[in-house]
Structure 1
Amino acid sequence: MVRKSFKMKLYEGMAEEYEKRHNALWPEMRDMIHEYGGSNYSIFLDTETNVLYGYIELEDAEKWDKSADTEICRKWWDFMADIMETNPDNSPVSIDLKPVFHLD
């Protein structure tokens, strides 16, 4: 199992909309996350900076990386692009965080 953490950034005033969209996560997106080995997925918001911090546990990092090529993932990126910083392909600007401590 691989623990992955990353950060992304919302546009100002978009926190409520971001949470609303994730509370109504499409079933096919949920299924894709599980199909590509993702579990125990959480996203946290720093309301002072609009920075999102994500955490996900993966069966296999290479398998997870392939999820970006799925139609549903691309559709989700397009759906979210108007409320957060994105790359030219609408994928979220996502910066991996370095693990420095873990305790079970």
Structure 2
Amino acid sequence: MTAPDLDQLLASTDARSPGRCCFLLHVKPEKLPEYVEAHQHVWEEMREALTEAGWRNYSLFLRAEDGLVVGYFEADDVDAAQRSIAEAAIAPRWEAAMAEYFAPAADGTPGGDKEILPQYFHLS
């Protein structure tokens, strides 16, 4: 199967969900202890903003060997929830505080890349 065929299959599968999102981030391995510690004390204002934006069942998972973070959340409308949190007043402060932990983005800018993964199977 060629890449365009796979892209079309992933874009058209019935298993896609507007209510679930999984994403990847990459934390600098030397920053992992501080990054995990920061998430033990997420600001209440940030927690409230996520809830108000519609994020539910938000979880982060870590592969410590290389700093790979897998994030997952649910929302009535994932795209709208992501737009809403991006527009929240607290978001720029939180992102600035977290930027030091992430490996540089592919284009070299600080703050890292967030890769959204396509869903292709779901068993409810």
**With structure 1 as the length reference, what TM-score do the two structures score?**
0.87
Runs (4+) of structure 1 moved beyond 4 Å?
Answer: 86-90
Distance 1:26 1:97 in 2: 27
Measure the CA separation in 2 of the matches of 1:46 and 1:18.
Answer: 13
- 1:66: which partner in 2? 84
2:29 counterpart SS class: coil
Q: String of CA shifts for 1:13-47, please: whole Å, max 9, x gaps.
A: 11111111011000010000010000100011111
Percent identity over paired residues: 29
- The offset of 1:101, in angstroms, is 2.2
Partner of 2:59: 42
Q: Which residue of 1 aligns with 2:94?
A: 76
Report the equivalent of 2:71.
Answer: 54
Higher strand share: 1
Q: 1:60 to 1:31 in 2, by over 3 A?
A: same
Q: Normalising by structure 2, what TM-score?
A: 0.74
Structure 1: 5+ residue stretches without partners: none
Shift of 1:48: 2.0
> What secondary structure does 1:54 align onto?
strand
C-alpha root-mean-square deviation of aligned residues, in Å? 1.8
Number of positions where the alignment pairs a residue of Structure 1 with one of Structure 2: 103
Q: Deviations over 1:39-81 (max 9, x none)?
A: 1000111112211000000121232123112221111000011
SS at match of 1:14: helix
Which residues of structure 2 form unaligned runs of 5+? 1-17
